[in-house]
Structure 1
Amino acid sequence: MPVRSATAADLPAIKAIYDGQVAGGIATFDLEPPPVSYWEHRLASTDRGDHLLVADEDGVVGYAYSSAYRPRPAYRHTRETSVYVDPAAHGRGLGRALYDELLRRLRTDGMRTAVAVVALPNPGSRALHRACGFEPVGVLREVGHKFDRWIDTEWWQIALAG
């Protein structure tokens, strides 16, 4: 599976996948699609542990990113991760391929921990995180409100360094 660093040319496809979740899914709690500048900022980050990757099968069919978990310096060895796959490409191992490469890069960067948030219910995302070595560490009840309902989130964590 070709997974590579994203380029500026990939940003419209990344935005389209994300905007689909904004409009019809619970994988994000954004209610309005962010502008392309949001993605340009992610792409431009030079912070250690920040990555934006794409799965490319004759075009971008999924992406993953890592970014700061919290802004305070003591959290600098922890990254929050996200993976999004175009619904038409689900079930082909793209999420796993993206996560495998992202976690490899985070280990190379010397990151200690990665965390992820899964909106519930989402059995596919839970299975992906479990398969990649994440463990569930807690549920926050009714923290998001989208599509006229309250949504729980579950935090997942993986140790990247022993």
Structure 2
Amino acid sequence: MPSWFDLMTLDISGPEDEAGIKKATETVHQLIADEEKNGIPTERIMLGGFSQGGALALYSALMFTKPLAGVIAFSCWLPLNKQFPEAAVGNLDIPVLQCHGDIDPVVPYKFGQLTSDVLKKVMKNLEFKTYKGMMHSSCEEEMQDAKRFIEKNLPPL
């Protein structure tokens, strides 16, 4: 299955592909650098993703030292969570919208809650939203919340 890094298990305490996570993070950071070379300031770049992509967006933002506009993380977890909050090197002040369905069978809701608990120890502007009855998917309410988040944190020039 195409992925950013290997998933060895979906157990929150199981082994993780640290080398793969860090390599994928380098790829995200290079994408940001490419946009910056094209004249887009990092403060106008927002990261986001669903499931593994959301996990990578969170991790990449925390490991990026230049300011970003924010992160939207759908139905995900924080990779290498045992290394946090100490491992965070950047973007602790950026806004984060973390969204999760309360009956997600793939990335359990508890993973989202635990991620939120860890991030709130170091991040000042994190909002964790729960969507009742939503599985590992999306819903209109979540998309509207994401739209409002983008409009608020990345206004038109």
**Normalising TM by the smaller chain, what interval?**
0.3 to 0.5
- More strand by percentage: 1
Q: TM-score, normalised by structure 2?
A: 0.37
Q: TM-score, normalised by structure 1?
A: 0.36
- More helix by percentage: 2
